Amino acid sequence: MNKTPTLFDPVQLGALALPSRIVMAPLTRCRAAEGNVPVALNAEYYRQRASAGMIIAEATSVSPQGFGYPNTPGIFTAAQVAGWRGVTSAVHAAGGRILLQLWHVGRISHPSYQPDGGLPVAPSGIKPQGKIFTGTAMEDYVVPRALERSEIPGAIAEYVHGARLAKEAGFDGVEIHNANGYLLDQFLRDGTNRRGDDYGGSVQNRVRLTLEVTEAVVGVWGADRVGIRLSPGGVFNDMHDSDPLETFGHVLKELDSMRLAYAHVTRVTAQDVAHGAKEGVGPRELRPYYRGNIVSAGGFTRESGERALAEGWADAIAFGVPFLANPDLPERLRRHAALNVPDENTFYAPGPKGYTDYPALEG
């Protein structure tokens, strides 16, 4: 008789042998140095959290065009590789495992972030609702420039370059950021993709860039060290789709045959619903479309995480904000210990305060 898995049981995600099913979710912290380079402070932050079954490092731009937030890291220069190597060395010395999340923000940017002050790129010229922090002020988003069909191979090549440099930097694998309203998610959903070529229209066309990027990154790492993140119910960054179950069911069926290490599928939280998201499309509903490993994220506690494992719609659980404030989160969960309260004022502020100064448990 098979034992019901707990958060504290090991799990094999492709080639990644995790000592527990507690994953650290990618968390943007806006603390990279000049040149979008990780530094010793970042290495210490991740080292402190190396007891996670696996760390998925923060979203990291594969391209100078891919930025939309201040002081976020990149993975396209030699200096960035050297900075990330300091991070991976620190995590490995502490016994941990760490993957890099490959990112391009697409339209969620502004000319102030773009090379030569150009327009952000997107599948279609549809302006996002809302405002963006440009480093000095909150400003309206702009109408992005639709990527030309001839530019798409170059965009794929940027993900490949980032994947190669992630390997050079010593990561244990990579996760493709195909969620939360950024470039690949923009291509996938019909609310942001109004193209008339073979990358738009039908779900088969809209999924094309996701599959081509994934196949290309698998060519660098092998499928068993590649994951992908999807947010099927998410509305962050002014996202929507007319039939998310069809769209994300289709993409997961296509990805299933690739035998990736895992699919990282977020669930809808109460906060998402408050911002207009609808229940009914998440890892539980999409499980029939994907036979591989599913990592799920979205406001889990120890109890709700273990319930998801027991019900079979997740194989590991990613924790975000709890890891931010609790470097020793696995041990706290094991002991049913109280959690440190996160200071939201320091989530994206510079320096060690609210970053590396949260205390671990005594003893």
Q: Has residue 15 been placed in a domain?
A: yes
The answer to whether position 337 is within a domain reads yes
**Active-site amino acid positions:** 182
38: domain CATH number is: 3.20.20.70
The reply to whether 351 falls in a domain is no
- Which residues are within 8 A (CB) of 199 and not within 5 positions of it... i.e. 6 or more apart? 123, 149, 152, 187, 193, 205, 206, 208, 209
357 in a structural domain: no
Give me the domain span that covers residue 38. 11-346
Establish if 4 belongs to a structural domain.
no
Handedness of CA 188, 309, 278, 243 (dihedral sign): positive
Q: Which 8-state DSSP code applies to residue 37?
A: B
pTM for this prediction: 0.97
Instruction: Give yes or no for residue 349 having a pLDDT over 80.
Output: yes
Mean per-residue pLDDT for 13-29? 98
CB 51 within 8 A of CB 91: no
Contacts of 304 (CB under 8 A, 6+ apart): none
Confidence class for position 363, pLDDT limits 50, 70, 90: low
3-state secondary structure of 130: coil
Q: In whole angstroms, what is the distance from residue 159 CA to residue 161 CA?
A: 5
In the chain, how many domains are there? 1
**Domain contains 361:** no
Q: What is the mean pLDDT of residues 133-146?
A: 94
Does residue 6 sit within a domain?
A: no
Domain-located, residue 353: no
Q: Kindly list the distances between the CA atom of residue 56 and the CA atoms of 23, 61, 346, in Å, as whole numbers in the listed order.
A: 7, 14, 20
